[in-house]
Structure formats: C-alpha cells, structure tokens
Amino acid sequence: MTSPGLTDTAAPAPVRVFDAAALREDFPILQTEVNGHPLVYLDSGATSQKPRQVLQAEYDFLTHQNAAVHRGAHTLAAEATDLFEDAREAVAGFVGAAPEQLAWTSGATAGLNLVAYSIGNATLGRGGEAASRFALKPGDEIVVTESEHHANLIPWQELAARTGAALRHIPLHDDGQLDLDAASSLIGARTRVVAFTHVSNVLGIINPVAELVALAREAGALTVMDACQSAPHLPLDLPASGVDLAVFSGHKMLGPYGVGGLYGRAEVLDALPPFLTGGSMITTVTLDEAGYLPAPQKFEAGTQPVGPAIGLAAAVRYLQDAGVDAVHAHEARLAERMRDGLREIPGIRLLGDAEVVERVGLWSFDVKGVHAHDAGQYLDALGIAVRVGHHCAKPLHQRFGITASVRASTALYNTDADVDAFLDGVRGIRPYFGADA
C-alpha cells in the first residue's frame, strides 16, 4: 500500500512525489507535543522514529505467528521461520546483498564485536586453514580513522591488546575530511584490517569508500565498514562497494531496537570462525566437540530477534516505498538549509564544515560560552529534540578541541518547518544564557 506521503501524478508517466509532511502521518510520536510545543525531532542519528507499518508488522507477528524459528515442526514455528527468512531476504536486498550474506545481530555494536572476536578466534587457531588468513601477530596493524564511533574503535583496541597487533588511525583535515595522503602512507604491507565509518555520526560527512577499499585491497587487508549512519539515508549496494564486511542497526533506520545486520562477502563469512556459540548454529555436537552450520547461521547462536527482524523488513520496505534516492536528496537539502542558517548565527562553530563534500542531514556544533548540555536543555524546553555530549566519539571531539557538542540529525520525516524551528531555537541560546554580551 502506498504511504500517505507518496502520491502519483499522471503525466507523462506515473511519478512518485516525495512529501515529508504527509509521511509524518505514519509516525504517531511526531503528532505529540513536548513541553507544550509541537515535537521537532532532530535526533534520528541516535534513534529514528518508527512508522505504523513497522509497529504493525511486529505486532502482527507477535499476535499471530509468535514461535521459535528453525526449531519446532508445528504450524506456528513453520510460519515464523518463513517470516524470519523472508525478512532476511528483504533486508539483505535493501543493501544489495544475497540472503546468505546477511547475519542477524542485535545491532552494529554487536556486529563489530563479532568480527573483532572472530578474528581473535582465528588468531587462536580456530576455524582451521580457511580462517588462518585472518590471524594477527605482533607487528601486524589495524587501521581505523580519527572519526570513529566508539563501537568501531574499542573492539579494535581490544583485539590489538589480545594479539599484539598495533592500532593506527587515519587523521582528519580541519574541515573534517579524511586525510587520504596520510591513509595511503598508513595502509601498507603490515595492515591486516581497515575499519572505517561510511558516514561520521558527528560530522555527517560521507567518507570516500572506494579510495579506502582500494588502499586496503592493495595491502591485502580486510575492510570493515560501519554503515549505521548511511543505511537509512543513502542507497547502498554493499557488494558493489567492495567492502568485505559491514554492519548497520535497525533502530537507526525506522526499525525496532535489538536487531541489526552483519553483511559479508560470502568467502569472508564462510572463512571466519564463529564468535557466540550454542544452540541453532551447529550441525553435530558431542561432549568433546561440535561442528558448525555454514554462514550466516553459524553467527546466529541462540534465540534470534525474530519480531524485530520482521519489523526491520517492514522498515526497509517503507524506505524503498519512499525512494531512497528521494530520501537522500530531501535530507541533503535539509542539511544545506541547516548549515546556511547555523553559519549566520553568531557564536556557532560547525564541526566538519567542508565546503564541497557529500553528506547526510546531520550537523554537530559548539555554542560559544554555553555548554552543550545547557544548549540541549534550552532547545528541549521548546520541544526540539537534539543530541548533546560526545556522541560516543570522544577522540573526534578532542581533535576539534572540545569535550561535547550539540548534534541535530534529520530523517525522511523532517521538514523545512522543523529546520526553521530549530534555527530559531538556536538563535535564542546565547542570549538566554547571557553569552552574547
């Protein structure tokens, strides 16, 4: 069924018209008031709101087919299994992948830890000859960027500590773009893993995937991409991107909490040893040893997030119905409107204000003379929801000489009116706290 925000025009051929204001009707929470003001939700970078279609899909499963998957032989179990695997096909297809290239996780953090610990298991000799190419040793290097979320930094710190590998990072230019000259110097014969974010959750900048993948391939290194901030906002074809592995979270892309995806090239997933072990991911078990199912099931130990996976499938269908290219264009326009407005406000310093660079609808900024938490509370009093703090990216904030920032992030349901209300609110922050004197 076509969403209220998507209409058809007759001539010369049916054309979908993107209408964010109409799409808002699908999101019950956006109809509420906060502190006596209409809610202006600009914190989708942390968690997106959910349309009725997603809520209904999970509710329908729980009320009509709720059962354990891949286990029982009864009717509900068979129906649940079909819905679960249909969801895998839908979500994999959304990122250009085949179903066998997508393992369910509880989110991107779990997916990144899975990869790091799987590599650690390979280092211990688990997985046999196929996994030996992932094994690390002292002198090997893991390369990340200076703009990583902690979820794509700390697992690699831990892996380096366990294996003796060294952790290196690609620095940023002052405008927030990656220093590719430094990257080409850092990524070399000793590099075994290159982990990077597709879109910075602080800067909103879309990083140069093709260039990073090319450098890693030349070095024979494994590439791991954090796609949390790109999956809801950009058309993705992960196989075509060339990355070996990528992760994303459902709750950032209109879906439920507690579910995410790990994409991997088939030969990589097949070779990596499992991390979590237990029921459902085995072929045979004796008291002394076990055999494991092929990927992706070997990475799915125990009870899976069946309802959330079905909800996530509904979310990606919603995004596809909206048109991901149209979503990106809409949010890019909002980003420009937000940037132009923030640049005009005295005392506002934008982070990553690169002039000519692709980005999503997300900006972080410092308010001169006002702590980010105070700024956020002022905006909240006006019904404007933003994120404040270091956004799980403390090293990146240190790079820019601050401890915290205010972040406004958009989604397909945001409008020009949201951005304008936000800008009006930001204009009042420094006068309210007497910081404009």
DSSP secondary structure letters along 184-210 = HHHSSTTEEEEEEESB-TTT-BB--HH
| Backbone conformation region of residue 392, classed left if phi is above 0, alpha if psi is from -120 to 50, else beta | left
Q: Residue 302 contacts by C-beta under 8 Å, 6 or more apart in sequence?
A: 276, 278, 279, 280
Tell the residue number behind the tokens 């030969």, with chain if given: 267
Rounded-to-integer distance, Cα 351 and Cα 341, Å = 14
Which structure tokens are listed for 62?
A: 């729980």
Terminal-residue alpha carbon distance, the chain = 55
Which residue in 301, 392, 402, 435 is the catalytic one?
A: 392
**CB of 49 closer than 8 Å to CB of 27:** yes
Rounded-to-integer distance, Cα 266 and Cα 212, Å = 21
- Pairing outcome for strands 348-350 and 290-292: unpaired
Task: Check if 392 is active-site.
Answer: yes
Q: Is 53 helix (H, G, I), strand (E, B) or coil?
A: helix
Query: DSSP assignment, residue 370?
Result: B
Rounded-to-integer distance, Cα 249 and Cα 272, Å = 21
Residue of 186, 150, 149 lying closest to 167 (CA atoms):
186
Beta-bridge partners for 7 = 17
Residue of 280, 282, 276, 283 lying closest to 262 (CA atoms):
276
Query: DSSP assignment, residue 345?
Result: S
User: Which residue type occupies 368?
Assistant: K
Which structure tokens are listed for 257?
A: 């909490």
Residue of 296, 260, 259 lying closest to 280 (CA atoms):
296
Tell the residue number behind the tokens 């024979």, with chain if given: 220
Query: Known catalytic residues?
Result: 392
